[in-house]
Amino acid sequence: MTGKINQVDVMELGDRSKESSSPWSSTMLLVRLTTDDGIVGYGEAPTTFSTLSVMGSMKEVERIFKGANCFDIEHNLNEFYRNSFYLTRSFQDTAALSAFEIASWDLIGKYMGSPVYNLLGGRMRDSIRAYANGWYSDCINPDDFVREGKKVVSMGFTAMKFDPFGSSYDDLPGEGLKMARSIVSALRSELGDRIDLLIECHGRFSPRYAMKVAESMKEFEVLFIEEPVHPELESALHEIRSVKVPVALGERLLNKEDFARVISQGIVDVIQPDITNCKGILEGKKIAAIADSFGVQVAFHNAFGPIQTAATLNLDYNIRNFLIQESFDQFWPDWKKNLVRSGYSFDRGFLKLDGKPGIGAEVDEKVLEQHIVSGIEPFDPSEPPWVVSNTFSKAPKFQ
């Protein structure tokens, strides 16, 4: 048993006949690592408007990992850090590295005959409370959101995240704010206090309008508002948090140092690392520990595919300061749902790993092979890839 990685396969998956520009429903990037003992591990990288550039970086990471020992995660990460001059500022590099890191843990768990969470220190909990995302395609007005929100509740979810801001960007005209308030108010009124509401801002507002969002959401007792300002304007969060509405962010932060900065500045209540772009599972564990030192909770970002979900759940089981887990799984297209035969399950609002070795996901190789594609991901000039389908392009344009 050597653990030497002797084969690397980088794959783009999708369904070109049905793809939209939203990455949670379209393109996937996977890496498959095979050792000289015949053990196979999978990792995943995000694709948002960057599929080909991330794939290019994955080829660079391959030069470090191919021939390396899968057990030597810290060493292999440091070797890439030493050679990749812009790693701390490159989403493409950290995304690529994360996929290989996750696949390495999958291999290690399989070698040891143990789920990854046991190798990280064991379980703090037996199941993972999830919140729904991706459920509100084509929702424009309050009635649309209430109709689809009731379906989410019927699935057993006790929390849901959504973006009620339509096509607003940078600023938020009075009519746009009124519409957003009406949507949130209708959901709170129809679904009651038993459902946690999470407000997605997608990092789209300037500080002045982000403050208006925070003030308008306070009465609805939302669990948090996510990325209320453009990410480079994070200093404005000091004032926004004074409204006493919890603020979450983190899917665009690339390493523990970035998280240490925002956490120590006291500008965030909940962090949302994405282990497919912040250097993987081990870095995610370190980030959670930094947050725990400041009393900050963790709600991992999780918007892409089942390999990411399985890997993230291992950390959810393990960390002390877990809050809630994002889940698009119930709203994926069928091909993405079927990519993994087993590994984790969803039941009445909770996710649970099966306890299989590695990250726990059993990939259906036939489905994988049927959905290998190539080329740039879909692009809809009328709607950014970070929104849920038809909630931006079909929304009214307020002046």
DSSP category for residue 104: H
The helix (H) or strand (E) run that includes residue 394 is none
CA distances from 378 to 370, 373, 386 (A): 19, 12, 12
Bridge partners of residue 225, in order along the sequence: 199, 247
Catalytic residue (choose from 202, 230, 238, 371) = 202
Whether 202 sits among the annotated catalytic residues: the reply is: yes
CA distance 195 to 41: 37
Among the options 230, 238, 301, 371, which is catalytic? 301
Classify burial at 44, counting beta carbons within 10 Å of its beta carbon; exposed 0-12, middle 13-18, buried 19 or more.
buried
Tokens linked to 356: 């299989």
Contacts of 189 (CB under 8 A, 6+ apart): none
Q: Which of 144, 57, 112, 159 is nearest to 358 (CA)?
A: 112
Alpha carbon of 122 to those of 244, 276, 287, 318, 360: distances in Å?
35, 22, 17, 6, 14
Active site (annotated) includes residue 301: yes
Its sign, for the CA torsion 289, 294, 299, 300, is: negative
| Whole-number Å distance between alpha carbons of 275 and 367 | 24
Give the catalytic positions in this structure.
202, 301
